[in-house]
Structure 1
Amino acid sequence: MDSEGWAFVFSAVNGLALIAWIGLAFLPRWPALLSAVMYLGVGLLCLAYSMTLIGVMSGLLAGGAGDGAGADFSSIEGVRSIFLSDGGVVIGWTHYLAFDLFVGLWIARDADAKGVSRFIQAPILFFTLMAGPLGLGIWLILREPAARRQGRFQ
């Protein structure tokens, strides 16, 4: 795949993730919406990730410098070389988008179940979108007292 193709995939996964995050943050959390975020948001991001990863690793898609053959996850230099290509960047970014959205969905569901207001949830979800582990860490700190108030630790 050439640079324009990777740019298209990058834009597509970003758009998909943004639509899912907007729905999660601002729309009523009806079961149908939560299912859509899970399967049309997270699921499609996972599919895009899997298809591009397998495509590059198998040689079916050109990823640029550092194509899949010999991808090395055992050293910082090896991982850096993966991200020197457009394909590597898009695949890595899609990985982040899928996992951060999944974590955001879990946070939203868990916070709703614990009676945490959407006003409190909004910045946590924003931090999860922008810097996944930061948002998750904030939620884990706030979650514990909310769980205690309910008399359970689920």
Structure 2
Amino acid sequence: MTPDPDLIFRLSNGLALLCWLALVVSPPSAAWTRRVWWVCGRMVPLVLSAGYLLMFALHWRGEGGFGSPAEVRALFDVPGVLVAGWMHYLAFDLFVGVWIASRSAQTGLPHLAVVPLLLTFVLGPVGLLAFLAIRLLRRSEAPDEFPAAAA
């Protein structure tokens, strides 16, 4: 039996929303915060990613693609594939949101200053951009570089 896209959509949204709420009420000093970051930043994105793969595999009918806006529109015209795409956003935005929360704690940014940045839940890249801009303005230095690959 194929999972109902509407049900999967509601469950995925609910799970992600619970994590976003947990992030808001989890300042770095709280005893539970590291566990919240692990569950919401690792486990839930993993579950959403597995759900994405399942929904895409079960619902994609070979229609559409990623080569043009028209192809993407055709791809997402299939409800199950649209839900898969939404799960993609939920997983990545949540992963980035937890990264923002943990980096903020490491750099000493107050938790109350981070809470508005959790708009990453709705506007993904805008939240990341706002976080990086605040860090630059606050610390007056370039953002951290990505670590070099191990040789």
TM-score (norm 2): 0.83
Match of 1:63 in 2: none
Give the alignment of 1:1-154 within 5 angstroms.
Answer: 5-29=4-28, 30-57=33-60, 67=61, 69-125=62-118, 127-148=119-140, 153-154=143-144
**Cα separation, 1, equivalents of 2:55 and 2:134:** 37
- Conservation of the 8 A alpha-carbon contact between 2:63 and 2:75: no
Runs of 4+ residues over 6 Å off in structure 1: none
**Cα separation, 2, equivalents of 1:28 and 1:54:** 38
Q: CA RMSD in A?
A: 2.0
> 1:50 Cα shift?
1.5
> 1:77 Cα shift?
0.6
Deviations 1:86-121 (A, max 9, x none): 112101111110110011011111111111111111
Letter of the 2:7 partner, please give it. F
**Cα separation, 2, equivalents of 1:152 and 1:139:** 13
Deviations 1:106-137 (A, max 9, x none): 11111111111111111111x21111011111
Gapped runs of 5+ residues in structure 1? 58-66
Letter of the 1:17 partner, please give it. A
Gapped runs of 5+ residues in structure 2? 145-151
Letter of the 2:93 partner, please give it. D
**Cα–Cα, structure 1 residues 6 and 115, in superposed 2: closer, same or farther, change >3 Å?**
same
Deviations 1:19-68 (A, max 9, x none): 111111112443222111123321111111112122234xxxxxxxxx3x
Letter of the 1:115 partner, please give it. G
The count of residues paired between Structure 1 and Structure 2 equals 140
TM-score (norm 1): 0.81
